Structure 1
Amino acid sequence: MAEPHSTVHPAGHPAMDYEEHENTYRLFVTGAKWGMGFVALVLVLMAYFLL
């Protein structure tokens, strides 16, 4: 059975690229905001032209 690692690094795990992780998360949040705005715009235009 493997023993759990108890070493805690104050700056996080050295094998992780935290800067790239944060950039990817920011890109995801920005894309989600723009995507929701686009969907809202399409719904408003559909309501205007189809009703």
Structure 2
Amino acid sequence: MAEHKHGEMDITVQTKTFDGFVKATTWCVVAIALLCLFLAVFAA
């Protein structure tokens, strides 16, 4: 088994994936909050 050396792995793909996940989660939370606000104001 190869020796593990901290900090040598290329993590650019993982970083882009995580950044995309955070951005998508943020947009979903904003959309849900706006939907709840809309329903609270205009629902019968």
Of Structure 1 and Structure 2, which has the larger fraction of its residues in helix? 2
What SS does the aligned partner of 1:45 have? helix
Is 1:22 the counterpart of 2:15 in the alignment? Answer: yes
How many residue pairs get aligned? The number is: 44
Which residue in 2 is equivalent to 1:48?
Answer: 41
Which string of whole-angstrom CA distances, capped at 9 and with x for unpartnered residues, describes residues 2-36 of structure 1? xxx461224334xxx41010000000000000000
Runs (5+) with no aligned partner, structure 2: none
Q: TM-score, normalised by structure 2?
A: 0.81
Runs (5+) with no aligned partner, structure 1: none
Measure, in 2, the Cα distance between the counterparts of 1:49 and 1:28.
31
Is 1:12 the counterpart of 2:5 in the alignment? Answer: no
Q: CA RMSD in A?
A: 1.7
Percent identity reads 20
